[in-house]
Amino acid sequence: MRIAYSPYELRKSLDRFRVGALLRVIFDDGVIGYADCHPWPELGDLPIDQQILKLQQKQPTSLGVRSLYFARLDGEYRDKRQNILSEVKIPPSHWLITHLEHVDYQNKQFLEFNCFKVKIGGRLKTELQHLKKLMHHFPSKDARFRLDFNEKLTPETFQQFWESLGDFTERVEYCEDPFPYHGEMWSHMQKKYSVSFACDRQSQQAISHPGSANTLVIKPALQDERLFVLAGQNQKLVVTSYLDHPFGQLCAAYVAATLPHHTISGLFSHTAYEINPFSAQLITEGTRLLPVEGTGFGFDSLLEQLIWTD
The count of other CB atoms within 10 Å of the CB of residue 133 is 13
Helix axes 62-79, 48-56, angle to 10 degrees: 70
11, 236 Cβ separation under 8 angstroms: no
Catalytic residue among 12, 54, 89, 119: 119
Q: What is the DSSP letter of 195?
A: -
**How do strand 144-148 and strand 95-97 relate by DSSP bridges?**
unpaired
36, 247 Cβ separation under 8 angstroms: yes
Confirm whether 133 is a catalytic residue.
no
The count of other CB atoms within 10 Å of the CB of residue 226 is 10
39, HSE (Cβ side, Cα atoms, 13 Å): 19
246, HSE (Cβ side, Cα atoms, 13 Å): 24
Instruction: Give CA–CA dist 245/296, Å, rounded.
Output: 16
Catalytic residue among 54, 89, 219, 236: 219
6, 24 Cβ separation under 8 angstroms: yes
3-state helix, strand, coil in the chain (%, to 5): 35, 25, 40
User: Which residues, in sequence order, are CB contacts of 278 under 8 Å at separation 6+?
Assistant: 245, 246, 247, 299, 302
Residue 205, SS3 per DSSP: helix
24, 34 Cβ separation under 8 angstroms: yes
Confirm whether 119 is a catalytic residue.
yes
Catalytic residues: 119, 219
